[in-house]
Amino acid sequence: MKPATKYIHAGSHPDPSTGAIMTPIYQTSTYVQEAPARHKGFEYARSQNPTRTALEEAFAIIENGKYGLAFSSGVGATDAVIKLLNAGDEVVCGNDMYGGTYRLFTKVFSRLGIIFKFIDTTKPANVEQAISNKTKLVWLETPTNPLMNVSDIAAIAAITRPKNILLAVDNTFASPALQNPLDLGADIVMHSVTKYLGGHSDVIQGALMMNDAELREKLYFIQKSCGAVPGPMDCFLVLRGIKTLGVRMKAHCENGRIIAQWLRSHPKVAKVYWPGFEGHPGHAVAKKQMKDFGGMLSFELKNDNIEEAKRVLSSTHLFSLAESLGGVESLINHPASMTHASIPREERMKNGLTDGLIRLSVGIEDADDLIEDLNKAIG
């Protein structure tokens, strides 16, 4: 089945009791049993909920995986992956990642004895070099938030697989419409569903997708034992969001391309980070592993100081100043003081995340209106 069809039908079955075409919101905490331990597969809603089951089926299908699991947030999903490990185990991960992931790794799991090595994963040889006999997991984000760095998933899977090291990929920025890490050899895909999968800035949710049954059992055990499960209403909203993923991503990519090119030609703009440019260091890999380049981009002004960046950030009208991304409406964000404020300045600067960097989540409004808005703000 082609992706556009999958997005409409994945996880959708007429409701067995009424034939309702849309999955009902099973707003219940428990299920009546016929006799002790005799039930229809549903005992307690932290462990099972039919709305969530439908969504988890959809998650698996849209990432070409066998299994999907839904979590109450993206970091809740990441948290479950790290809980596969034991104290003393090592994780090799990228040095440019979502600030909340960095905070979870360095402030929570480091304390519990898990060791994180932050490296430049855009060169697979660096990953090979960083792996030791204690390494149990490689955590990749590609493209990265906010610098749009690209790592070669297939090349890194070729390093981890023979060593029995798990490879997990945060696929939030690309969405399943542009990149499918399981097909490239990853063991686990993670999504902040809050972003492109939900697509309408009205829900916080996370997802994990995988192919291995044993891995699915371990992650399901963590999901129900630790309890970061989404409510049925949120699952319903995401089931609805996924139906338009194909058309939304086409529009995001089209607008992203137009805005990236327009910004690059603007006399006051110094640099645009967008993997669709041939000069982007990750362009060749992005072209190989992604279907298109998405609606996320960052840029720096020639007048690179925090005051000038703040002036632009406060002057747009269609681009709302807000954290998050991936909704139909355009957002503008200042990583240094907002999404990435939890990364120490020195660390940020080392990786090229400057004080003046501005990140855009390009929505699906008319591109002419978006350009006019940015043009007035940049001045």
Ligand X SMILES: *Cc1c(COP(=O)(O)O)cnc(C)c1O
Query: With contact defined as beta carbons under 8 Å apart, do 207 and 72 qualify?
Result: no
Judged by CB under 6 A, the chain residues 158 through 177 that form the site for ligand X are: 170, 172-173
Alpha-carbon gap, residue 289 to 213, rounded angstroms: 25
Query: Of 7, 26, 67, 98, which one interacts with ligand X (CB under 6 A)?
Result: 98
Q: What does the DSSP assignment read for 95-122?
A: SS--HHHHHIIIIIITTTT-EEEEE-TT
Q: With binding defined as CB under 6 A, does residue 330 bind ligand X? A: no
Q: With binding defined as CB under 6 A, does residue 101 bind ligand X? A: yes
Alpha-carbon gap, residue 336 to 342, rounded angstroms: 9
Query: Of 52, 83, 136, 195, which one interacts with ligand X (CB under 6 A)?
Result: 195
For 199-244, where are the alpha helices, taking DSSP H only? 213-226, 232-243
Which H or E run contains 287? helix 283-289
Residue number, 50 or 241, with CB nearest to ligand X: 241
Alpha-carbon gap, residue 70 to 293, rounded angstroms: 26
Residue number, 145 or 211, with CB nearest to ligand X: 145
| Strand order, beta sheet including 90-94 | 67-71, 206-210, 188-192, 166-170, 135-141, 90-94, 115-119
Residue number, 92 or 325, with CB nearest to ligand X: 325
Query: Of 179, 192, 316, 351, which one interacts with ligand X (CB under 6 A)?
Result: 192
Judged by CB under 6 A, the chain residues 249 through 278 that form the site for ligand X are: none
| Number of residues located near ligand X, criterion CB under 6 A | 16
Q: Which residues carry out catalysis? A: 46, 98, 170, 195
CB of 283 to ligand X, least distance (A): 20
Alpha-carbon gap, residue 251 to 90, rounded angstroms: 40
Q: With binding defined as CB under 6 A, does residue 63 bind ligand X? A: no
Residue nearest to ligand X (CB): 74
Amino acid symbol at 360: L
Query: Of 49, 135, 142, 145, which one interacts with ligand X (CB under 6 A)?
Result: 145
Q: With binding defined as CB under 6 A, does residue 75 bind ligand X? A: yes
Binding residues for ligand X, per CB under 6 A?
Answer: 73-75, 98, 100-101, 141, 145, 170, 172-173, 192, 194-195, 204, 206
